[in-house]
Amino acid sequence: MKKIIVFASGSGTNAENIIKYFAKTKIAKVVSVFTNNAAAKVIERAKNHQIPTEIFSKTELLESNLLQKIQEIDPDLIVLAGFLLKFPDHIIEKYPNKIINIHPALLPNYGGKGMYGMHIHRAIVNNKEKETGISIHYVNEHYDEGGIIFQKNVALTEEDTPETVAEKIHELEQKYFPEIISRLLED
């Protein structure tokens, strides 16, 4: 069975969805959740599924100690699911094309430093976009610039608010993220 590590910084709804999805398969299993936020709800969600968590600081992310912990697990895939820090080059180099991220917009639009969550949804509404969507991509040394694996769009209306855009995006994330992870691990 293949091993997945999930990195998350916040509530962990995508992380929990991935945990539940793979608990029902023989393809892979989420073996650990790593977070940079000791108050993140993802910790509770992981514990509810008996998934060990690793809490670390931004400084520790940049040190080799965290890489060593990842290497001890020997994951087949590292999944960033609402992880808000830039992933360090030394880990990316050790796991080329084995680290993926989900972004709540159709990249290359609305990507880059500071573009996450409601910041993106507000910008999309303010710019009167007709559609948005999700992008699942490989992680490289630049924010949101790794090769795109999958995109799915959703139509927007003039009545959409940042909150309704967030709901539409969340539905896409919940449906497609585990499926795409599964496809990657089956290849």
Token reading at 118:
């409601």
85-119 in b/e form (b: 16+ CB < 10 A) is eebbeebbeebeebbbbbbbbbbebbbeeebbeee
- Residues at the binding site for (6R)-10-formyltetrahydrofolate are 101
- List 3's β-bridge partners, or say none: 29
Our answer to whether residue 103 is catalytic in this structure is yes
Strand ranges, E, within 72-175: 77-80, 99-103, 131-138, 148-155
Q: Which one of the listed residues 103, 121, 137, 142 is annotated catalytic?
A: 103
- Residues at the binding site are 12-14, 101
Residue 3 main-chain phi, psi, to 5 deg: -115, 135
The Cα diameter of the chain in Å comes to 50
Catalytic residue numbers, as ranges: 103
